[in-house]
Amino acid sequence: MKILRKYALRELIVPFLFALGLFTFMFMVGNLVRLADLFLNKGVNVFDVVKLLLLLLPKLLGFTIPMSALTAVLLVFGGFAQNNEIMAMKASGVNVIRVMAPVLLVSFLLSVFSLFLNDQLISETKFTYRKVLKEIFLSKPSAYLEPGRFIKEFKNYVILIQEIHDKKLKGITIYQTEADKPIRTIIAESGEIISSVQDKTLSMKLYHGTIDEANPQDPNVFYKLDFESFVLPPLAVGDAPMPGEINKKTKDMSLDELMTKLPKEHEKKMRRKIQASMHHIITLSLAPFVFVLIGLPLALITRRGEPIISFGIALALICIYYVFFVLSDTMAISGVLPPMIALWLPNITLSVIGCVLLARVVKT
């Protein structure tokens, strides 16, 4: 029995590492193209680009570790079934569950590591990534801006710039949108970016333009103001204001930080968001164990050990799981279901299916 257990675990190592490298590379490709553009075309320091790349790695591993565990199990145990090794074990009186037990134990240990990864490492690297990106943005604003493209990253602003030469701008159109207020349109012939790495602020100074704004009381009446120069207030990216230090968002916090913040928050939607983030970290960390639990019986039922088929089954199951997980997250935040129920639904559902299939496999 010990020989069979060691054999099963040993056979899983290479497929797991191969799948981990492949999936991580696949997820990294899109980011590599964007980061390479920052270095080659935007003049961003190579060390900053490498730093951003390394900061992305923990987040990617949070997804690719459970995916790789599932793929390895489907590949190896599917091969066992296809080559009649499982049948030989049963004929020799070997309980298949006892062979699978060490694999389930290792997957549980992977989940424990994933909990540390999601709770401590990913939360910190995501926050650091935002800080590094902001520093790059302030020192090289042109790296963030693209001519001829509507820039929607700034809170309450949609900006179109026809030409960008370092910090000099030409052909600027800005739409300022605020809740319960008419859209303000600012058009300028030229302008310049005003940024300060020391003060951590970014703005624009516009030259020779006009500001058009509808009367809030009568939308058919417009106010028009001509200007020689006009300075925009400090811009904000998303929900984080540009001035000063970046504050941690809920999704950047660890379990300890979320548990500290929860008692201080009285707004219902924000409390649900905090609770959802807490359960999100825990349930997502259990994905390696859940994937292996359902992957073991699936491998024996399909009886296919070919890499293409195993990868196909793994990708299909992964897509179903993460779509289910995103829907559960949405239901938790919107209040359709309590976060404790909504975020645990994907894991509970797949675990029940896995246990039922496992019982079926053992009986046959």
Helices 307-334 & 46-82 angle (0-180, nearest 10)? 120
- The domain in which residue 189 lies consists of 156-234
Give a yes or no: residue 245 inside a domain.
Answer: no
Q: Within a domain: residue 78?
A: yes
Of 234, 265, 285, the last residue of a domain is: 234
b/e map 257-296, b = 16+ CB within 10 Å: bbeebeeebeeeeeebbbbbbbbbbbbbbbbbbbbbbbbb
Domain-located, residue 242: no
Question: Is 216 in the same domain as 88?
Answer: no
What is the rounded CA–CA span in Å between residue 233 and residue 100? Answer: 62
Rounded (5°) CA angle 208-209-210: 150
Place of tokens 């995916």: 67
330, 276 contact by CB (below 8 A): no
Would you state the pLDDT for residue 243?
45
Residue 221: CB atoms within 10 A of its CB come to 9
CA 13 to chain centre: 26
**pLDDT recorded at residue 244:** 47
- Domain end residue (candidates: 184, 206, 234): 234
Q: Return d(Cα 210, Cα 72) in angstroms, integer.
A: 62
Residue 329 belongs to some domain of the structure:
yes
Please tell me whether residues 320 and 349 are part of one structural domain: yes
186 and 296 housed in the same domain: no
117 in the same domain as 12: yes
Query: For residues 3 and 165, what is the distance between their CA atoms, to the nearest angstrom?
Result: 67
Check residue 242 and give its pLDDT.
47
Last residue of a domain, one of 181, 205, 234: 234
- Enclosing H/E stretch for 153: none
SS3 of the chain: helix, strand, coil, percent, to 5: 65, 15, 20
Asked if residue 151 belongs to a domain, the reply is: no
Q: Are residues 271 and 127 in the same domain?
A: yes
CA distance 72 to 9: 10
114 shares a domain with 259: yes
End-to-end CA distance of the chain: give it in Å, rounded: 20
Distance CA(7)–CA(77), nearest Å, equals 11
User: Would you give per-residue pLDDT tens digits along the chain (364 residues)?
Assistant: 677 777 778 889 999 999 999 999 988 887 887 777 777 766 777 888 888 889 999 999 999 999 999 999 988 888 887 777 777 777 777 777 888 889 999 999 999 999 999 998 998 898 888 888 777 777 777 666 778 888 876 778 888 998 888 778 899 999 888 767 778 899 999 998 887 666 666 788 999 999 888 777 766 777 888 899 988 887 765 444 444 456 677 888 889 988 888 887 778 888 888 999 999 999 999 999 999 999 998 888 877 666 777 778 888 888 899 999 999 988 988 888 898 999 999 999 999 999 998 888 877 6
Does residue 214 contact residue 205 with C-beta atoms inside 8 Å?
no
Same domain, 222 and 272: no
Q: Could you tell me if 164 and 60 lie in one domain?
A: no
- Give 132's DSSP letter: H
Q: Report if residue 144 sits inside a domain.
A: no
C-beta atoms surrounding 324 within 10 Å:
15
Whole-angstrom Cα distance, residue 70 to residue 103? 11
Token duo for residue 42: 């935007």
Can you tell me whether residue 249 is helix, strand or coil? coil
Residues 6+ apart with CB under 8 A from 172: 159, 160, 161, 162, 186, 187, 188, 189, 190, 191, 204, 206, 209
| Residue 334 shares a structural domain with residue 263 | yes
Co-location of 11 and 112 in the same domain: yes
Interatomic CA distance for residues 237 and 59, integer angstroms = 21
Query: Are residues 106 and 77 located together in one domain of the fold?
Result: yes
Instruction: Tell me how many domains the chain contains.
Output: 2
Per the DSSP assignment, residues forming a β-bridge with 194 are 203
Pair 276, 201 in one domain: no
Residue 63 lies in a domain: yes
Q: Do the domain assignments include residue 239?
A: no
